[in-house]
Chain A
């Protein structure tokens, strides 16, 4: 318990210091002004969500081939944590878009596919809540999770493949793209801090799922008696 509080405190300090860097160390962008500071949280959360969904995909594939309950626990944990991160992306995006584009939302390829990504993983969690039998629940959700992950590369490449309202990539975007050095440092540190948060949330959620499996076993034992 003390260890987990310490970890959370260290992480909080890390996140606070990276937010400080984003606000005071990184320069103000010329065209958009101060509102561009949302970039550091928005993009870092998007990449962290991709990492979480990638973990879910790996766990789902692993479950299909091994039928290990631990893979199922990891799959559902990563899906739920990824959903939290993509929710932040879907909320901070419109807050950033409104002063810059003059609109909160538009149904372009990037925004629509990101919204669908959120809906897919919400459906993944709803599907699990509707199936009682543990093995069936794990297998159905693993197959659905593998299907849901197909949207991740579509989201990532959508701004490269189609003309969108969403800006072209500034990170790994090829010639002409890139960040000012202080912006890059602030962005990388923010992403590092959010990856720490991702690991903290994922491990807490995994412990919860392991405990839930233990409760289901105890309930079955109690019913048999």
Chain B
């Protein structure tokens, strides 16, 4: 089928963007969770 490669490229690019974005949100979330734990431990030590 003519231009099927364009269709596949468009769908792959679209899903890749959403996937990468979701991974980036998850990574930022886990970094912040670690930061929360670190800060809480630091504050508890100071008590």
A residues engaging B (CB < 8 A)?
A: 15, 19, 33-35, 37-38, 41-42, 45, 81, 84, 87-88, 91-92, 95-96, 98-99, 197, 201, 204-205, 207-208, 211-212, 214-215, 218-219, 221-222, 225
Known contacts A88-B13, A91-B17, A92-B14: does B4 contact A208 (CB below 8 Å)?
no
Known contacts A204-B26, A208-B29, A211-B29: does B7 contact A37 (CB below 8 Å)?
yes
Residues of B within 8 A of A99 (CB): 2-3, 6
Q: How many whole Å from B46's CB to the nearest CB in chain A?
A: 5
The total of interchain contacts (Cβ-Cβ below 8 angstroms) comes to 88
Which residues of B in the span 1-47 have a Cβ within 8 Å of any Cβ on A?
Answer: 1-4, 6-7, 9-11, 13-15, 17-18, 21-22, 25-26, 28-29, 32-33, 35-36, 39-40, 42-43, 46
21 CB contacts below 8 A, A to B, read: A33-B3, A34-B2, A88-B13, A91-B10, A91-B13, A92-B14, A95-B10, A95-B13, A96-B6, A201-B22, A201-B25, A204-B22, A208-B29, A208-B32, A211-B29, A211-B33, A214-B36, A215-B35, A219-B39, A221-B39, A222-B42
Residues of A within 8 A of B36 (CB): 211, 214-215, 218
Residues of A within 8 A of B33 (CB): 211
Closest to B1 in A: A34
Closest to A84 in B: B21
